[in-house]
Amino acid sequence: MTKLTTTIRTALFLTTALTAPLAWADDVPDMPEHVVGDAAYPFDTVDPREEKKEAIELPDSVAPKLELLTDEEIEFLKSGDARRFAGPAKATVEALEKRTPEEVKAWVNAMQHVMSEHRYEEGRDLPNIPFNTESTEFNAWRAERPRSMDPEREDGPIALGRYDGRGGPPTFGGHPLALTKEDLIAGEVDVAILGAPLNMGSGWRDSGSQATTDLRLFGRRMGSLDQYVQVNPRDVLNIVDYGDVAIDNNSTERSMRLVREKVREIAQTGAIPVIIGGDHSLEYPNVAALADVYGKEKVSVIHFDSHYDAWWGGPHLIDHGVPVYRLINEGHVRAADYIQVGLRSAGPDESGFKWMREQGMRYHTMAEVEKRGWDAVLDRVVAEASEEGRKIHISFDIDVLDPAFMPATGTPVPGGLDMRESITIVRRLCAESNVVSFDLVEFHPALDPTYKTALNSAFIVKACLTGLAMNKEGKTAEHYLSPLASEHALDDHYGDQQQYLDATKAEEEAAKSKDENREDDE
Amino acid sequence: MHTNNKNRGMRTFLLASLLIPFSGALGAWSVPQELSDKVDALNKAQRSFITSGAAITVIPESQLKHELATREPESLKKLMDDLMTVAEQFGYSPERDMGAAPLNLTSDRFHWRVVTPPALREMKREPGPFSVHRYLYPTSGVPTFGGAKVAIWPEDLVAGNVDVAIVGVPGNVSSGVRDAARAPNEMRALNTIATPDLQSLVKPFEVLSVVDYGDFAVDQMSIELSIGHITAMVAETAGTGAIPMLVGGDTSMLYPGVKGIASERGAGSFGLLHFSAHPDTERNEAHTISDRQAVFRLLDEGIVKGSDTIQVGLRGPDVDASTLQWLRDKGVRYHTMAEIRQRGFEAVIERVRTEVDKGPDAYFVSIDVSALAPAEMIAAGRAEANGLSIEQVRMAIRHVCAAKDIVGFEITDLAPMMDLSRLSVMHANAVLNACLGGIAVRRAGLDPDYVHPLALDHGQR
């Protein structure tokens, strides 16, 4: 460490020692980021994709069947609401013909009953889910431990082990631990890996906060050499484990603010947040936090997932199926700045695809992969992501992979990517485009006693860390691979032997002059 | 929704007490003689924070003593100020905190759990339970609880004069391993219910009319939004005269289960016998309902009386002095694993039997599978080391179900994913069958302790 940084660290250490630790974020942006009190959701909730079914005309022939109906009931029977039950005009007429007027009345009343039950009604329904605000421990779950409770220490990453930082409690990739923003600043941290063990959304096959824990246990490989490109992220980047963010696993909505604040805190220091989930609801606070720091509509998102996660219209404003819609709805990201990769679940249907196309959202389904081949889609995605050097958040749902590689996920869908494809695309994106944030979500370890999913998940994170390190080293050429590692060059089998020998030599010389420059600086 | 906030012992402890002076609400903390100089050097608010006992809710007592003994005065003052800052922020502030999670009020499925009205049902059939099988003696096919016939509507229960309706309540939201939603189907899939009661040789499915009543719908993103529907459905089921046997679902589902029975039978008209490692009487949670609050709400709202409540098998993280004292104050008869270790299971279960016999005529029997030792029930959502054996639980439940008028039964928090062998599912079925067998014994007019001579002894000389 240079003298200068030591001085800065000391200064920061003293500053922190003199100011009380802040238990709550004090730098809240202007946009309403979350509801306080019992306020309503401040954004529009009507989904433009919901097609309003047209009213129908009924032929005079069925008039006798309608004789017991009031005008209001006849209007309802013609309305779009009735279409959900009675079907189009032809089916409605058939249904009327086989019923007596009494049965018709009961039939229409039943439809009206169901529709009225389905919809929120003021006075009858609560507009929200109240918490127990009288609890004296209302905020205990997110109370931060004052620094003064522990012995004084310098700011900066903390190596937990006694053997060159190793041998302590498990951290993500074996990287040192940071607990505060001051630690990130003092350590000049490039990448902060944050656990967010939210598991409410993907109720199928789930297991508490085990996901972030298990990725610490089995994720040592997040910090090692990548043979393909001969880059070790640990040597290039200052990477820390930033602990877990507090989660209320009885309320996703309530957890959103904490995640957003913590991700924002990381991004504000200039470090790249890597968020380990947790279910895919997390994409919402993660990207919203980036919008807080970099500005609205300034960040693009690459959404790796078998699901498009832009569903909407249920009673809940956040779960693991809606983060994309909510981000767009609140103006954090433009739909046109979304790139979707790996879609293959039951939805979206045609209206969903039409909506994506109209919005300018670029989607790359497994149907496209089936048609064009993976390599073509890979190049297309990387090219799209690198347009205009836009800031990129990668949201990586491990169910984009085939369940053969990732059985321990909430909503697996067969027919997905394999590890070789996934590592390559993630490494390339993190190297060749301007990735400012990354999340890996939907890991549920209890489903997989073999730990395969944990290990593979760690390798996905490693692929991004490697790419980020390549980016910092300037190895951003299209699909860079080490000329030394990718070709023995002992013969001219492919007819390009000399090219590899030259490239290897050029790299050696570049590395040498870089080392010399570094010595000059010091 | 906030009726659960009454009578809360701890609730005034911080916010109120932080409005200087710190008095009353907490047990005062008496400063050890050798540390009194250190405390005296602090300002009035800080002193009050320590002596009121508020400090030791934020910092462990042993650490507080250590810090008082070793810190320099300035450092100690700063620590106290920091701790007070944290403590002040524990409570709710409507300007700062979300007091209620907003919902999508324009949703077309705000309540999607709407039972299809008769006029919209496509198929016409006579009411009554029906088989899902093609064969007279099926060995496989669509799985139902114990291979029972299926009923869908209350009129099916009435027409079939149904005695017992087994129904899934697959809630998944609470704190345990989130797989309880799979429990009803896994218990259907392992066809080990419907076995004869070994002691009496009574066959429950011959004595009783038992149906699989399907599942009641839940909102997997909100217990709060699930309660009303489940409560109404349980009440409707009980209203037909059938005994609802509910298969959770996590233990938050106990609350609407018991509440539903109470809304049909009357609050306080029956006792609650609850086997569980967890007392589920959390009194200060930021939510209004969760598994950890289920029993608290039942008692707090008077749905069951504390004096008619028995808990067996308590242990684990939520069993502390303040919780046991609260239970005692409520008149609850609790039996911890400490009592069982000290006095022996037989003695304790005899005590429970006596308590039940002296208790009300009717009982709701519930078991959170965490009551069982993980060796026999590894797939508990909130598994807890030690615990009762399957035979102990089975025999205790069988007895109560044979000796009392059972108004409802519920088994909760089975997380099948956690047990690849399915032994846990088999044991969950055995527990349900124990109560079913007990009900059948009573219905057959036999004494609860009756033993069939053929079952007791081979009779060979």
CA torsion sign for A409, A413, A414, A420 is: negative
CA distance A84 to chain B (A): 11
The reported pLDDT for the residue numbered A27 is 52
Closest residue on chain A to B178 (Cα): A206
The reported pLDDT for the residue numbered A522 is 58
Tell whether A383 lies on the interface with B, counting CB pairs under 8 A: no
Closest CB to A114: pick one of B101, B114, B418: B114
Q: Is a pLDDT exceeding 70 seen at residue A379?
A: yes
Strand partners, B356: none
Tell whether B225 lies on the interface with A, counting CB pairs under 8 A: yes
Q: Please give the distance of CA A199 from its chain centroid, rounded to a whole number.
A: 14
The reported pLDDT for the residue numbered A209 is 73
Closest CB to B108: pick one of A118, A149, A203: A118
Q: Is a pLDDT exceeding 90 seen at residue A487?
A: yes
| Residue B427 near residue B372 (C-beta atoms within 8 A) | yes
Q: Hey, what are B129's tokens?
A: 């339970």
The reported pLDDT for the residue numbered A5 is 44
Mean local confidence (pLDDT), B170-185: 85
Closest CB to A135: pick one of B101, B173, B285: B285
Mean local confidence (pLDDT), B211-223: 94
pLDDT per position as a tens digit, B151-172? 999 999 999 999 999 999 999 8
CA distance B13 to chain A (A): 7
CA-closest candidate to residue B443, choices B408, B411, B404, B410: B404
Q: Is a pLDDT exceeding 50 seen at residue B38?
A: yes
The reported pLDDT for the residue numbered A34 is 77
* Distance of alpha carbon B447 from alpha carbon B441, whole angstroms: 8
Burial of A495 (0-12, 13-18, 19+ CB in 10 A): exposed
pLDDT-based confidence at residue B26 (cuts at 50, 70, 90): low
Residue type, A479: H
State the SS3 of A96-144: HHCCCHHHHHHHHHHHHHHHHHHCCCECCECCEEECCCCCCCCCHHHCC
Say whether B290 and A250 touch across the interface (CB within 8 A): yes
The reported pLDDT for the residue numbered A208 is 56
| Residue B328 near residue B336 (C-beta atoms within 8 A) | no
pLDDT per position as a tens digit, B414-435? 999 889 899 999 999 999 999 9
CA-closest candidate to residue A9, choices A182, A204, A190, A253: A182
3-class state of residue A37 by DSSP: strand
Say whether A250 and B109 touch across the interface (CB within 8 A): no
Closest CB to B284: pick one of A107, A135, A250: A135
| Residue B233 near residue B240 (C-beta atoms within 8 A) | no
CA distance A61 to chain B (A): 22
Mean local confidence (pLDDT), A434-455: 92
Residues of chain A numbered 448-467 and touching chain B (CB < 8 Å):
449
The reported pLDDT for the residue numbered A19 is 39
State the SS3 of chain B: CCHHHCCCCCCCCCHHHHCCCCCCCCCCCCCCHHHHHHHHCCCHHHHHHHHCCCHHHCCCHHHHHHHHHHCCHHHHHHHHHHHHHHHHCCCCCCCCCECEEEECCCCCCCCCCCCCCHHHCCCCCCCCCECCCCCCCCCCCCCCHHHCEECCCHHHHHHCCCCEEEEEECCCCCCCCCCHHHHHHHHHHCCCCCCCECCCCECHHHHCCEEEEEECCCCCCCCHHHHHHHHHHHHHHHHCCCEEEEEECCHHHHHHHHHHHHHHHCCCCCEEEEECCCCCCCCCCCCCCCHHHHHHHHHHCCCCCHHHEEEEEECCCCCCHHHHHHHHHCCCEEEEHHHHHHHCHHHHHHHHHHHHHHCCCEEEEEEEHHHECCCCCCCECCCCCCCECHHHHHHHHHHHHHHCEEEEEEEECECHHHCCCCHHHHHHHHHHHHHHHHHHHHHCCCCCCCCCHHHHCCCCC
Residues of chain A numbered 21-50 and touching chain B (CB < 8 Å):
21, 23-24, 34-41, 45-46, 50
The reported pLDDT for the residue numbered A396 is 98
Q: Which segment of A27-31, A128-132, B240-244 scores lowest on mean pLDDT?
A: A27-31
Mean pLDDT (chain A) is: 90
pLDDT per position as a tens digit, A508-521? 999 898 888 877 76
Contacts of A249 in chain B (CB under 8 A): 175
Higher pLDDT, B445 or A522: B445
Mean local confidence (pLDDT), A352-372: 97
Residue with tokens 């956040």: A318
Residues of chain A numbered 102-161 and touching chain B (CB < 8 Å):
103, 106-107, 109-111, 113-114, 117-120, 125-141, 143-149
Closest residue on chain A to B77 (Cα): A148
Residues of chain A numbered 291-310 and touching chain B (CB < 8 Å):
none
Mean local confidence (pLDDT), B165-183: 87
Say whether A109 and B119 touch across the interface (CB within 8 A): yes
Q: At what angle do helices A283-294 and A252-268 cross, to 10 degrees?
A: 40
Higher pLDDT, B191 or B305: B305
Greatest C-alpha distance within chain B: 89
Contacts of B79 in chain A (CB under 8 A): 146, 148-149
Say what percent of chain B tops pLDDT 90. 85
ipTM over 0.85: no
pLDDT-based confidence at residue A200 (cuts at 50, 70, 90): confident
pLDDT per position as a tens digit, A382-424? 999 998 889 999 999 999 999 999 999 989 999 999 999 999 9
Say whether B4 and A119 touch across the interface (CB within 8 A): no
* Distance of alpha carbon B413 from alpha carbon B177, whole angstroms: 8
pLDDT-based confidence at residue B437 (cuts at 50, 70, 90): very high
Burial of A490 (0-12, 13-18, 19+ CB in 10 A): exposed
Mean local confidence (pLDDT), A233-244: 96
Higher pLDDT, B99 or A29: B99
CA distance B55 to chain A (A): 12
Mean local confidence (pLDDT), A287-306: 97
Say whether B110 and A449 touch across the interface (CB within 8 A): no
Contacts of B220 in chain A (CB under 8 A): 203
Say whether B221 and A201 touch across the interface (CB within 8 A): yes
Tell whether A213 lies on the interface with B, counting CB pairs under 8 A: no
pLDDT per position as a tens digit, A109-155? 999 999 999 999 999 999 999 999 999 999 999 999 998 999 889 99
Q: Is a pLDDT exceeding 50 seen at residue B3?
A: no
Q: Is a pLDDT exceeding 80 seen at residue A466?
A: yes
Contacts of B108 in chain A (CB under 8 A): 50, 118-119, 313
CA distance B401 to chain A (A): 33
pLDDT-based confidence at residue B340 (cuts at 50, 70, 90): very high
Mean pLDDT (chain B) is: 91
* Distance of alpha carbon B178 from alpha carbon B181, whole angstroms: 7
Closest CB to B100: pick one of A106, A131, A205: A131
Say whether A139 and B101 touch across the interface (CB within 8 A): no
Q: Is a pLDDT exceeding 90 seen at residue B254?
A: yes
Contacts of A113 in chain B (CB under 8 A): 117
Contacts of B83 in chain A (CB under 8 A): 146, 149
Closest CB to B92: pick one of A85, A138, A207: A138
Q: Hey, what are A380's tokens?
A: 């297309």
Q: Is a pLDDT exceeding 90 seen at residue A223?
A: no
> Which long-range contacts does B338-343 make (Cβ < 8 Å, 24+ apart)?
B340/B313, B340/B388
Burial of A21 (0-12, 13-18, 19+ CB in 10 A): middle
Say whether A141 and B89 touch across the interface (CB within 8 A): no
**Mutation target among B76, B86, B218, B419 for the A interface, most CBs of A within 10 A:** B86
CA-closest candidate to residue A248, choices B414, B101, B225: B101
Closest CB to B79: pick one of A35, A36, A148: A148
Mean local confidence (pLDDT), B5-28: 46
Tell whether B459 lies on the interface with A, counting CB pairs under 8 A: no
The reported pLDDT for the residue numbered A161 is 85
Closest CB to B96: pick one of A36, A125, A131: A36
The reported pLDDT for the residue numbered A312 is 95
Say what percent of chain A tops pLDDT 70. 92
pLDDT-based confidence at residue B8 (cuts at 50, 70, 90): very low
Q: Is a pLDDT exceeding 50 seen at residue A443?
A: yes
pLDDT-based confidence at residue A64 (cuts at 50, 70, 90): very high
Say whether A118 and B112 touch across the interface (CB within 8 A): yes
* Distance of alpha carbon A177 from alpha carbon A193, whole angstroms: 9
Say whether A120 and B178 touch across the interface (CB within 8 A): no
The reported pLDDT for the residue numbered A32 is 54
Say whether A129 and B14 touch across the interface (CB within 8 A): no
Say whether B221 and A316 touch across the interface (CB within 8 A): yes
pLDDT-based confidence at residue B68 (cuts at 50, 70, 90): very high
* Distance of alpha carbon B448 from alpha carbon B403, whole angstroms: 6
Contacts of A109 in chain B (CB under 8 A): 119
